Amino acid sequence: MSQIYPEKYRGKINAEARVYQQLKDLRSSHWRFFHSVDIARHSVKKSGEIDFVAISRSALFTLEVKGGKLTRQNGTWLAYGDEMDESPITQATDNYNALRRYLKKAKLPML
């Protein structure tokens, strides 16, 4: 089984709960997963939250989980037909870059 923190899901979003369980059930000791990671010093906005961070000895991923009906029309992302505040891709990329900068400042060997 993989390791995921916190050890019990504490969120309220069904899509994230499903991803949390899938990550927890992975049969890999090479990965560590972290759910709902706050970013206090975000470079693009006041703060941010990463749904999941996946870390191994050689890789770092951020996962942005969206549930429900998402579409993209003429470059605009919609959730249930309503325009989203931000593209999920932009959100995930900005959060990844903010986390990477933070970890790089901490001078971790993998980065």
**Could you read off the pLDDT tens digit of each residue along the chain, which spans 111 residues?**
789 999 999 888 999 999 999 999 998 888 999 999 988 766 677 678 999 999 988 888 999 999 889 999 999 999 999 999 999 999 999 899 888 888 888 886 654
1's CB contacts (< 8 A; 6+ apart) are 24, 25, 26, 27
CA-derived radius of gyration, the chain: 15
* Pairing label, strands 70-73, 76-79: antiparallel
> Model pTM?
0.85
